[in-house]
Homo-oligomer: A and B are copies of this chain.
Amino acid sequence: MTESESAAERWLSYRKEIKVLDATIRDGGLMNDSKFDDDVVRAVYEANVAAGVDYMEIGYINSQTQFPKKDFGPWRHCREQDLRRIVGDNDTSLKLSAMADAEKSDYETDILPKDQSVLDMIRVACYIHQIPTAIRMVEDAHNKGYETCVNIMAGSTLAERELDEALEMLAETPVNVIYVVDSFGFLYSEQIEALVEKHLAVLKGTGKEVGIHCHNNRQLAFANTIQAIIKGANYLDASFAGLGRAAGNCQLELLLSFLHNPNYHLRPVLACIQEHIEPMREKLMWGYDYPYMVTGIRNEHPRSGMAFNASKDRGDIVKFYDSMIAEE
């Protein structure tokens, strides 16, 4: 029995390999075109440092052509001067990451060599058919000196054979972490377990880690994160108050209070939520809600639910449900 297996089987111990990644500004940026005020980003940064969180994903490092500065905030592009305005030289134990979307990032030019950046990790997000592009992006970031990670999105829709192939291809790359990503908030425990087990089996002996990124459409984001931990995932995504696209992510406050690592602290997270995050809820409209539940049940992208909640019909959940059935 390895140390990690034995820790997983105890209820009061903790696994020191576990890393918590706060994705608040990055995933939450999908609800406001990444237009967070500097004071919010700074508050989240400082709370992460105080809470002992391992990584903060501070935004996307995506194309200024595809996401013009007139329409999107600085956390869609993560230019160095924007980052340093918040974190200075980041003389803390908190690592910083940015996400580059396959085919939406001018990564070759926009991602600087590591010795010129405060970023520590580049996370590549891709759909399964973009794996060759993702691998090229991973190699670029690795060669520039970064830790790297791949998030294969829409994990609840992947053809088993394609996922197997993707994992075998990724196993040959320098990528450090591969995530199970339930973009649609569809999966439940047994499916999460099967996916994590599959990833670990293919990656066995490579030294690569498996991560978990959940959405809360069926109020299973935290629970599924727990199941992934039990099966051996060591990189855990969460966000303050679950702020993220549509139903949002695993709540950081729930996750930190569940993990037994004494380096993690709940109070700074609650304070930041109270002062900076909850005041944005009415405008950003993230979190568990019936339209997102319906898209989650149906294993669909939440975009129809987001459009409905932004319309005058918000609250007429039967109307939304009927419209989805009618489209079948």
A289-315 vs B, Cβ < 8 Å mask (1 yes, 0 no): 010010001000000000000000001
List of B residues within 8 angstroms of A261 by Cβ: none
A216 CA to B220 CA in the complex, in Å? 11
Please state if A266 and B188 are interface contacts (CB–CB under 8 Å). no
Contact A191 B318 (CB under 8 A): no
A251 to B294, CA, bound (A): 13
Docked CA distance A278–B274 (Å): 24
24 contacts between A and B (CB under 8 A): A11-B190, A11-B191, A188-B226, A189-B226, A189-B227, A190-B230, A216-B219, A218-B254, A218-B257, A218-B258, A219-B221, A219-B222, A219-B223, A220-B222, A220-B223, A222-B223, A257-B297, A266-B321, A267-B321, A270-B318, A274-B315, A274-B316, A274-B318, A288-B288
Q: A299 to nearest B CB, angstroms?
A: 12
Chain B CB within 8 A of A20 CB: no
Within 8 A of B (CB), among A260-278: 266-267, 270-271, 273-274, 278
A148 to B84, CA, bound (A): 65
Cβ-defined contact, A317 with B274, below 8 A: yes
A interface residues, Cβ below 8 angstroms from B:
11, 188-191, 216, 218-224, 226-227, 230, 251, 253-254, 257-258, 266-267, 270-271, 273-274, 278, 288, 290, 293, 297, 315-318, 321-322
A270 touches B223 (CB 8 A): no
Residues of B close to A11: CB separation below 8 A: 190-191
Q: Is the CB of A219 within 8 A of B189?
A: no
CA gap between A226 and B223 in the complex, in Å: 10
Q: Which of B267, B316, B317, B321 is the one whose CB lies under 8 Å from A318?
A: B267
- What residues on B are CB-neighbors of A251 within 8 Å? 219
Measured CB to CB, the nearest residue on chain B to A297 is: B257
Chain B residues whose C-beta falls within 8 Å of the C-beta of A316 in the assembled complex: 274
Complexed CA–CA distance, A188 and B224 (Å)? 11
Contact between chains at B219 and A254 (CB < 8 Å):
yes
Which of A190, A221, A278, A322: most chain B CB closer than 10 A? A190
Which residue from B189, B216, B273, B322 sits with its C-beta under 8 Å from A317?
B273
